Amino acid sequence: MTTEKNVHDAVPADILEALRSCGRILVTAHARPDGDAMGSCLALAWALHELGKSVCVFNEDGMPGFLSFLNAPCPVISDTDALPWEPELIAVLDCGDRTRVGEKLQPLMDRIPTLDIDHHLANPNFGSAGSWAVPSASATGELVALIVHELGVAMQGPLAEALYVAIASDTGNFSYGNTTPLALRITAQLREQGLDIAALREKLENNWSEAKLRLWGRLMNETRILEDGRLAAAFVTRAVLAETGSTREDAEGFVEQLRRLSGVRVALLLREEEKEGKASTKASLRSSGSDSVRDVAAVFGGGGHKNAAGATLAMGAEQAFEALLPQIRLIWS
């Protein structure tokens, strides 16, 4: 594989050494995992499994339903009490900072060597055993593919499917401006080695429930077009989820539809949640070109990329919108 050293540095030696030398490895990514997070975890887990390692995948929110067709070589657990053994190493993927894995894993990360492999701009290089953060990578899956190549594992079967999902998810099926030549070359190699892309896309895209269909219809009907057409905002309240019989996961991807509107510079999806009796709202922001929504998310302790970012606000959806709006207006002020 071409490693494109002019785009990404070679895989750091300490990353490879840690993965090769440890026998029990826990692989994890940010909570509420998207395709890149879970796809990267499963691809790395398959590679480690092929090398004879004991491996386990952890995610505080478990395997998302829309990715349930992906095969794993090991359990995907959501509670540290279910760990089959004490890990020697924790590989953290696709996390801009260590808090994004959630609270459950923090005590383990305090005492066990940790690798940090990521593509977010503001990553503070938190890995105690090694960090490799490459903002120019289109997806963490791109970096995992380079690691798999260096480990000498063939990119075939379930491993290839996981890599494809990781890279395709964060590049908008290779249509976003972050899509690198390396991402396309990796995908070409996956295809050359037997990946059935058509069958995989069928599983990834044609799996909606009726509840999700009703939710998206409701959201499209109630989307607010504001700021002279520059802002499109949709509200996924707890009431809307209850009335449509849908889940928060069913709202995944809807914010991308808002960005399709002509004239919209910022698309905003506000997803209301309640945990331990406290309301919060996950804000997902999208933009195009030079409009940076990462700067908006950062004001509220969030992050991401220039054209795709998010933050969690400790308030209801309407209050979150009122807090976000002045920061969004700065984009075109």
Say whether 210-329 and 13-204 share the same fold. Answer: no
Q: C-alpha distances in angstroms, 312 versus 35, 65, 285, 305?
A: 20, 22, 11, 16
Domain residue extents for the chain: 13-204, 210-329
β-pairing verdict for 54-58 and 76-77? parallel
CATH superfamily membership of 13-204: inorganic pyrophosphatase (n-terminal core) (3.90.1640.10)
Radius of gyration of the chain (CA): 20
Is residue 7 over pLDDT 70?
no
User: pLDDT > 70: what percent of the chain?
Assistant: 97
Q: pLDDT tens across 102-157, in order?
A: 999 999 999 999 999 999 988 999 999 999 999 999 999 999 999 999 999 999 99
Q: How many residues does the chain have?
A: 333
User: Does the predicted model carry a pTM greater than 0.85?
Assistant: yes
Distance CA 226, CA 234 (A): 11
Q: Hey, how many other C-beta atoms are within 10 angstroms of the C-beta on 121? A: 14
Q: pLDDT tens across 61-114, in order?
A: 999 989 999 999 998 999 999 999 999 999 999 999 999 999 999 999 999 999
Fold held by 210-329: Diaminopimelate Epimerase; Chain A, domain 1 (3.10.310)
Q: pLDDT tens across 211-267, in order?
A: 999 999 999 999 999 999 999 999 999 999 999 999 988 999 999 999 999 999 999
CA proximity to 261, closest of 223, 235, 297: 223
Is residue 2 over pLDDT 70?
no
